[in-house]
A and B are shown apart, each in its own frame.
Chain A
Amino acid sequence: MLAKRIIPCLDVKDGQTVKGTNFVNLRQAGDPVELGRAYSEQGADELVFLDITASHEGRKTFTDMVQRVAAEISIPFTVGGGISELHDVEKMLSAGADKVSINSAAIRNPNLIDEIAYNFGSQVCVVAIDARLDENGWTCYLNGGRIPTERNLFDWAKEANQRGAGEILFTSMNHDGVKAGFANDALARLADELSIPVIASGGAGCMEHFRDAFAIGHADAALAASVFHFGEIGIPELKEYLRAEKINVRL
């Protein structure tokens, strides 16, 4: 049976992971490749590396890091942050990334999704959506949640699906950082309306939240950062727990 996926997300700035870690026995906790390898050995199903560097020099460092990840880690990984045109996608795939995640650039230029799907296949194109539930419903935001748009989450996700996205990575801004669970109602609606996998993001605080994202939110995968980085939840325990809760995961 196809397993539900657990995906740690690593924010990378100037070649170093940003959030602190409680990993023991890690020589360089700040090295994204070391951290990625540790997660892979613990049973992470995929990894996401998000470049939050602004400078040109930092971008070069990120590309070098992608090459090291590809050479050293044997599970699939997605890279995101600062990908705005087809050339950036090509650069990341050539460096060895399996998938790229596009966010603001896709809303600004939806045709980018079609171009990625046409040139490299849908499976490499993850469309990330940051959305907030307000009085108008679920509204999509740009630039890491700083700029609201006119777009509705469900309409945009459906359009991205039709244009050739391979997966939707949905982050609820209402839930992100609150550690009170994922946005399960919105997730379930996305999962039911789309023909591609949905990755839940934002809100993980305990193991039950992952179970609910799968059982109630019908998510295909769940992504989290701080609960893993700070060692609050270990991936092996999480997977044992999910297995006991009748969620099919890779052990």
Chain B
Amino acid sequence: MKPLRILVFAIVSLLAIVFVFPLYVAVLMAFKSAKMTFDSFYALPTKLDFANFVHAWETSEYPKAIMNSLLVTILSVALIVIASALAGYAIARRNKPFYNFVFLLFLSGMMVPFQVTMLPLYKLGKSLHLVNSHWGIALIYGGFGVQMGVLFFSGFVRGISREIEEAARIDGCSTPGIFFRIVLPLLKPVTATVLVLNVLYIWNDFLLPLLYLQDKQFRTIPLQQYFFFGQYSSDLNLAFAYAVMGMVPIVAFFLFMQRFIIKGIAAGAIKG
């Protein structure tokens, strides 16, 4: 048993190195100048040089982009969690054709290619004043995310025993009362799942902000990154410095949430 364990450990470690390598190159690039990379690709920088980071920080309005990303992500995720928890609960508890139909509607919505709705979404956004607004883009993300959210929440609720709810109903509790007082607290684990998946998607999304948040003051990290890449396409080192800077908040978020996420998801398990 022991040698097998060591072998497996070695294989997984090797795989881990393969996984880290591309990121290592990115970080390496960020710390070197164009000349240094040009002279020797893999050589470590001779000294820890933050020049690229300083330059990137100064020219890119990084703090503003972080604030925009945070605001958009938080608003959108909040909308998604609320709307899909409510709808998922209703669908799971009313096992009737209409609700099943709505469920399938959400599910097929996940299949709509973005290209088909891209132009209309922009037109619609313009006429409803949703463009260049944090709320506007959050509403659209809400609509995108609610489809997957409903899938998760309804699956999870189906796995919860109805007994407590029935008892509460006999005690005279109304449907919203039951939902907010009894069901909602039980939904924490699945909420964690939905939260993580959507935070990752929204934080990194590029196309929708490109359409909806073109104004400089609203740009999110990926968008700002994109414009920055365009400006310094010949200076990859600077671009990589910015890329590393853009990764820091989301990696920190994950490291901070990691334990909570796995525990949270595991606490109730996933019920498809």
A binds B: no
Binding site for A on B (CB under 8 A): none
